[in-house]
Structure 1
Amino acid sequence: MANYVYIATSLDGFIATADGGVDWLDEIPNPEQSDFGYAEFIGRVDAIVMGRNSFEKVLTFGSWPYEKLVFVLSNSLKHVPENLVDKVEIIGGDNLKTLVNHLDERGYHNLYIDGGRTIQSFLAEDMIDELIITRVPILLGDGISLFGRLTEKLPFRHQKTEILNNTLVKSSYIRLRE
């Protein structure tokens, strides 16, 4: 059982603009139409867990981008759009460990954790096993930060760094456990 983060940030550590915008990601030059390793990564996970805000942002993209089942953490959403009934489940609850254990019992052992608050909540509970962060060479100046406050240090070990398309810096970090 493992929980993974795979996300892009600006150089100043933001995952979105203050209003939740991610249009700046579309400005990344990609002449070879590379997925920058996403397909390989998504092949390692069984399902995706994201927060309500991220889910609502993805709904604005037009087409649904995920083939894996998506669990949306929300205590306020009650229904998913009809076209996503077999692709999305809303799950509530404030205890992430209970939630992850429940998903593990259902056969979802390796989870892709997505969305600013959701990632911060999982980190606060020390429930992230690997961080894969791609830094995009742009300064946003303000926005939604990837990281929030923690009550204790969480040591990670650098696993590898790749330069993608002579533009992006993708680094992987594994959580050190005692």
Structure 2
Amino acid sequence: MAGDHPFSASVFIGTSLDGFIAREDGDIDWLTSRGAAAGGDLGYQDFIDGIDTVVMGRGTYEPALAYDPWPYEDKHVAVLSTTLDAGTDPRVTVHRDLDGLIRGLTERGTKSVYVDGGQTIRTFLRAGLVDEITITAVPVLLGTGLPLFGPIGGDVLLVHRSTRVYGAGVVQSTYGVLRQQDHPANGREGAC
């Protein structure tokens, strides 16, 4: 089912300059404090207003439970997890595998997906399901932590769309994902 989906899937995530999305214990205070120093919401509200579904794994979902109010009130939230009990939270739909998730999103008529959390992002990248990636780099080096990227099954070619510099040295870049059939080596260059 890779690459065969009727919706767009976008990543919007913050990282340390050395590519970590959280400390090893999941702490993101370094991200939220530096992000606040940058001023504004760094385009998050505009981004979230343009999506109808949020997909995340258990590792992102469980910390989100502490937010009050629930940040995805008007969005469909799908959690990709083999261990989370289905039906315990009426705000989310739990899917056991990627194919079931894609079927569920397709049946719902999903148009635009926010893919959140390192492991879920890597799963979507491996399956060829990500259309756009926005990475907000915060000027801090953690040295260790939870990486945004890891094994993704091969090169993922990107096309730069924009870069914006915010206060406090925060830099946000957006890339389109170049599909294999659109790769210049295949004789054509596609618009992502």
1:18 aligns to 2:11 (yes or no) = no
CA RMSD of aligned residues (A): 1.9
- CA distance 1:38–1:139, change in 2 (3 Å): same
Cα distance in 2, alignment partners of residues 49 and 34 from structure 1: 24
User: Larger deviation: 142-151 or 128-137?
Assistant: 142-151
Cα distance in 1, alignment partners of residues 95 and 142 from structure 2: 32
Cα distance in 2, alignment partners of residues 141 and 174 from structure 1: 28
1:71 aligns to 2:78 (yes or no) = yes
- CA distance 1:150–1:91, change in 2 (3 Å): closer
Q: Is the 8 A contact 2:123 2:152 kept in 1?
A: no
Which is richer in helix?
Answer: 2
1:39 aligns to 2:41 (yes or no) = no
User: Which residue among 91, 98, 104 is the counterpart of 2:95?
Assistant: 91
Q: Is the 8 A contact 2:15 2:31 kept in 1?
A: no
2:70 partner letter: W
3-state SS of 1:134 partner: strand
What do residues 129-151 of structure 1 show as CA deviations (whole Å, max 9, x unaligned)? 10000000111110010001132
What do residues 18-56 of structure 1 show as CA deviations (whole Å, max 9, x unaligned)? 111111122226369511111111122110000001101
3-state SS of 1:30 partner: helix
3-state SS of 1:28 partner: helix
Matched residue count? 173
Report the identity percentage: 42
Normalised to the residue count of structure 2, the TM-score between the two structures is: 0.82
Q: Is the 8 A contact 1:30 1:165 kept in 2?
A: no
Q: Gaps spanning 5+ residues in structure 2: where?
A: 1-6, 182-192
